[in-house]
Structure 1
Amino acid sequence: MRADRLLQIILLLQRHPRLSARELAERLEVSTRTVMRDMEALSAAGVPVYTERGRNGGCVLLPGYRADVSGLTPREAQALFAWSGRASLSEELGLRDALQSAMGKLSASLPVQLQDDADALSGAILVDRRRWFAAAEEIEALPVLRRAVVSRRRVRLRYASASAGRAQRRTVDPWGLVEQAGRWYLVAAHRGVARMYRVSRVEAAEVLEQAAERPADLDLQAEWERLRSGLEAMKPPGVDVVVRVRPELVAVVRRIASPMLERGEGVRDVAAGGRQAGREGWPQLGMRFRVRQAACAVLLGFGADVEVLEPVDLRGELLGLARAAVGTYGAGG
């Protein structure tokens, strides 16, 4: 986000001979302090910008300087246009029109050959971030949260956590947004403690006038990894399973079980053991479920068409669940 803002500052100063830090801050929806830091960063990078104090002072770009993107390499141009093809990402953030406008301006300044190659790649890349067999998440609050993050202002949420019985109100200091496997999360501090909030559970969001408290040395990537590791450490234990499947249902079992397996793991073929019990010819499959309860739910749903061979204790657990189901549904006669 900062690289985009630095470019915006250069383009604004190209169009306007002089702008105050406050005017730039209003246009960019950031604080004047952020504008001054960005001006220092541009100057350090060799861009001829400077600030003048006094009544008629402001932020100035040396006359005649122009940001030139004609020196982009073919790979750099293709990388930019391939990223712009993630229209769904920009749309979720409320930036699709802005991205299209920006890429149009960039395209107009590119040599013809680079533009043709970049257009060819962007037209051949499709990014579908939806999970198989999963409904799309409602993330209407995402554009509001984006504005809060960019402006570094506090935000009041009505948030329905997975553990709470009903939505609760809380005021947080937003630090950043993370898109992970098609799901959006807000990283924010509540009463000084960093937390992650799933955006689909945000029922309402309101940006406040108060400035957000944000560590000066914040590393969003490192903070996300810390929060994620803590969450994964609380995850229920998974389980490795070997099953025997009716031959005509092998493809169905693979398809239904796959979303429940550990990341990077798939359904694998396993050599048949000595335990056939009249089911010769039934293929054996191995898989590792992320959560034991998910393994029970999926496998028990296939009834007698899938038999768990290992682990033995899971066979006993499934038997207990099946008996309990019979007791529940058979009680009415």
Structure 2
Amino acid sequence: MKSDRLLSILLLLQTRGRVPAHELAERLEVSVRTIYRDVEALSAAGVPVYAERGRHGGIELLAGFRTDVTGLTADESRALFILAAQGAHAALGLDAALGSALRKVMAALPAPHRPAAEVTSRRILVDATRWKGGPQGPVDLDVLQDAVFADRRLRLRYRHSGEREPRTYTVDPYGLVSKAGVWYLVADRRAKPRLFRADRVRSAAVLEDPVKRRPGIELADVWQVLRRQVEERPGGLGVTVRVRRSRLDMFLRLNASHLAELPDTDGEGEWVTVRLMYGVAPEARQLLQFADHVEVLEPPEVRAEVAAAAASVTELYQRAVRAGR
């Protein structure tokens, strides 16, 4: 709606100062011509807004002009009170600030929307952590935050998965990302994007050197690149299994990261065929946790790998039984 767009333009100019017309157009998903028409409408309504054309031009409010805008819609009011689990705010030391901010927002809401916003905060909860995610190491985000907000380089001692000794890196941080309850530092190392799990950082020091980010690149841009690299990483080895229908839901939950495609669950047979992707054959040994509810069909080398692992486990316990343990 045009009224919502005008309000958005006013708020952006009030918080950002001068903003190029093309940037407003991109943010609001309209044409530059529409933005200029909206500016004319704001001016006609008495808002002291003006536009300057040229290389360094843009749209700006008259210096010193402020407005107390509380024209939130009912849905916008409710959306503000649907928040992620408190753990994210606690990790950043912002629990108290969050509570204070929400109280201020509640006081500023139009009176008809306050009851709905209050009920939403009590009826909707978003918990970003995964079920049975397993224990995580302690996470100290203080130094990482300091570097992010001070725009300084960081020196990390970081332990990679599967390695005992940490390595030392000097990085240029873009910011912090919480993904499914796990905190990550997004940074450049030698102008290449890197991802560091915060719970694997053994120590961190903020350097005096200013951060050296790639021009025009923001945290969201780097995160999208890194996320695609993780999600599109080739599995290497396709594996076909059959799963008893009674265990299928649990199997799919626990093996979501290995699924090559969603299985066809139509039908009423006892077994459902599922296709998985692994890096190497030994990774498929984890299928033994489902005992005889899962059978590897192909390839033969993975079937042999799982069979050998099962035989090894059987021999281990048979020796214990023969020894009377």
Q: TM-score range by the shorter chain?
A: 0.5 to 0.7
**Is the CA contact 2:241–2:274 (under 8 Å) kept in the aligned structure 1?**
yes
TM-score, normalising length from structure 1?
Answer: 0.67
**Whole-angstrom CA distance in 2 between matches of 1:149 and 1:159:** 17
- Give the deviation of 1:197 after TM superposition: 0.8
**Is the CA contact 1:176–1:187 (under 8 Å) kept in the aligned structure 2?**
yes
- Give the deviation of 1:152 after TM superposition: 0.9
- Give the deviation of 1:269 after TM superposition: 3.9
The residue matched to 2:116 in structure 1 has which SS? helix
2:206 alignment partner AA: V
Among 269, 273, 294, the alignment partner of 1:286 is 273
Matches within 5 A, 1:165-180: 165-180=164-179
1:122 alignment partner AA: S
**Whole-angstrom CA distance in 2 between matches of 1:231 and 1:309:** 27
**Whole-angstrom CA distance in 2 between matches of 1:45 and 1:325:** 71
Which region of structure 1 is more displaced relative to structure 2, 290-299 or 183-192?
290-299
Does the alignment pair 1:155 with 2:154?
yes
**Whole-angstrom CA distance in 1 between matches of 2:13 and 2:313:** 62
The residue matched to 1:78 in structure 2 has which SS? helix
Please list every run of 5 or more consecutive structure 2 residues that lacks an aligned counterpart in the other structure: 1-10, 18-56
User: Given the superposition, is the C-alpha separation of residues 233 and 75 from structure 1 closer, same or farther in structure 2, using an over 3 Å criterion?
Assistant: closer
Deviations 1:180-228 (A, max 9, x none): 2332221112233321111121122232332211223013333222223
**Whole-angstrom CA distance in 2 between matches of 1:121 and 1:313:** 54
**Whole-angstrom CA distance in 1 between matches of 2:108 and 2:191:** 46
1:140 alignment partner AA: V
User: Given the superposition, is the C-alpha separation of residues 271 and 135 from structure 1 closer, same or farther in structure 2, using an over 3 Å criterion?
Assistant: same
Which region of structure 1 is more displaced relative to structure 2, 147-156 or 160-169?
160-169
The residue matched to 2:284 in structure 1 has which SS? helix
TM-score, normalising length from structure 2?
Answer: 0.68
Does the alignment pair 1:74 with 2:69?
no
**Whole-angstrom CA distance in 1 between matches of 2:12 and 2:159:** 33
2:104 alignment partner AA: K
Which region of structure 1 is more displaced relative to structure 2, 187-196 or 225-234?
225-234
**Whole-angstrom CA distance in 1 between matches of 2:59 and 2:78:** 24
- Give the deviation of 1:139 after TM superposition: 5.4
**Is the CA contact 2:106–2:114 (under 8 Å) kept in the aligned structure 1?**
yes
**Whole-angstrom CA distance in 2 between matches of 1:219 and 1:185:** 15
The residue matched to 2:240 in structure 1 has which SS? strand
Residue in 2 aligned with 1:98?
97
The residue matched to 1:82 in structure 2 has which SS? coil
**Is the CA contact 1:270–1:286 (under 8 Å) kept in the aligned structure 2?**
no
Among 294, 300, 321, the alignment partner of 2:309 is 321
**Whole-angstrom CA distance in 1 between matches of 2:208 and 2:73:** 43
Aligned residues with identical type, % of pairs: 32
**Whole-angstrom CA distance in 1 between matches of 2:178 and 2:14:** 24
**Is the CA contact 1:177–1:184 (under 8 Å) kept in the aligned structure 2?**
yes
The residue matched to 1:301 in structure 2 has which SS? helix
Residue in 1 aligned with 2:4?
none
The residue matched to 2:235 in structure 1 has which SS? coil
User: Given the superposition, is the C-alpha separation of residues 110 and 305 from structure 1 closer, same or farther in structure 2, using an over 3 Å criterion?
Assistant: closer
Residue in 2 aligned with 1:308?
296
2:275 alignment partner AA: R
Deviations 1:223-270 (A, max 9, x none): 22222333445443364534254x8xx24x632552212469666547
Does the alignment pair 1:259 with 2:254?
yes
**Whole-angstrom CA distance in 1 between matches of 2:85 and 2:12:** 20
**Is the CA contact 1:130–1:136 (under 8 Å) kept in the aligned structure 2?**
no
Please list every run of 5 or more consecutive structure 1 residues that lacks an aligned counterpart in the other structure: 11-42, 50-61, 273-281
Instruction: With a CA cutoff of 8 Å and minimum separation of 6, indicate the structure with the bigger relative contact order.
Output: 1
**Is the CA contact 2:177–2:183 (under 8 Å) kept in the aligned structure 1?**
yes
- Give the deviation of 1:149 after TM superposition: 1.3
Residue in 2 aligned with 1:296?
284
The residue matched to 2:149 in structure 1 has which SS? helix
**Whole-angstrom CA distance in 1 between matches of 2:151 and 2:210:** 6
Which region of structure 1 is more displaced relative to structure 2, 116-125 or 224-233?
224-233
User: Given the superposition, is the C-alpha separation of residues 107 and 303 from structure 1 closer, same or farther in structure 2, using an over 3 Å criterion?
Assistant: closer
Residue in 1 aligned with 2:40?
none
Pairs aligned (count): 270
Does the alignment pair 1:214 with 2:202?
no
1:195 alignment partner AA: R
- Give the deviation of 1:130 after TM superposition: 1.8
**Whole-angstrom CA distance in 2 between matches of 1:184 and 1:160:** 15
Residue in 2 aligned with 1:14?
none
**Whole-angstrom CA distance in 2 between matches of 1:6 and 1:97:** 29
The residue matched to 1:187 in structure 2 has which SS? strand
Deviations 1:271-312 (A, max 9, x none): 58xxxxxxxxx8102333353658733432343454334555
